[in-house]
Amino acid sequence: MIKKLFLLFTLLLSLSINCYADTVDSILERGTLKVGVSLFEPWTMQDESGQLSGFEIDVATKIAQDMGVKPEFIIYKWENIITALRKGEIDIIAGGMAITPERALKISFSQPYAHSGLSLATNTKLTKDINDFEQLNQPDVIFTVVSGTVSHDLVKRLFAKAKINAVPTPDEASQAVVDGKAHAYVSDSPQPEFLALRNPDKVDMPLSKPLVSYRAGFGVNKGEQEWLNFLNTWITARTADKWLSTAHKHWFKTLDWNQEAE
């Protein structure tokens, strides 16, 4: 009986190890890394010709290069990206995804590779008579956010009395503030900051710091320990050689990339 149990345990362990290695092996055998992204400036952006650029594009391309494969980017609406991963449509989520306990019940996260925060931008004209934070938490105040994001959850929690207009894309959400259809926009920094810089006569930043800060990690399917090990090793190596910090500074601390695109 003990011998049978030992053999069964050995078989299960072997199957488990093979399962863990499947993702890395399939990526190498396929020759492509399937990356799920969502359009959030400056994480991932798409021009009129369909060309992708941004911090996550650089990061995922670098991972693929270090693996000796090519990146294949697939764009999803934010609320659908975890489902796509769990269905096996992609190998990894690279979207500046905040590491949260709720998401960790569905997928596994790498160690953090980037940090960010959730910032608040407001329509100058609509909020000219608002003098303190609590005045934003009123039924006649409209917040615009991207549905299914941490920003959406935060606004529901901090501004429970206000009206929330949740839309599918950052462009729709930010434009609502510019057009005066919403009082405030909450999103990943530096999107609100960039919005204020580009529309100084219509949008401002009432707070000197983000509402909250968070750490972003790569998302992978549960049980893919070898794949997770590789990503954590990659993060450690690219943190040590300053590649990640240099890329992050380029996309988040300057608008040089915007001028380059023009």
Comma-separated ranges of CATH 3.40.190.10 domains in the chain: 23-113+217-261, 117-213
CB-based burial label for 231 (10 Å; 0-12, 13-18, 19+)? buried
d(CA 90, CA 27): 10
- pTM of structure: 0.76
Tell me the pLDDT of the chain (262 aa) as tens digits: 544 444 443 444 444 444 445 789 999 999 999 999 999 889 999 999 999 999 999 999 999 999 999 999 999 999 999 999 999 999 999 999 999 999 999 999 999 999 889 999 999 999 999 988 889 999 999 999 999 888 999 999 999 999 999 999 999 999 999 999 999 999 988 889 989 989 999 999 998 888 999 999 999 999 999 999 999 999 999 999 999 999 999 998 877 777 655 5
Please say whether the structural domain 117-213 has been given the CATH code 3.40.50.720: no
Query: Cβ neighbours of residue 79 under 8 Å, at least 6 residues apart?
Result: 147, 148, 168
CATH number listed for the domain at residues 23-113+217-261: 3.40.190.10
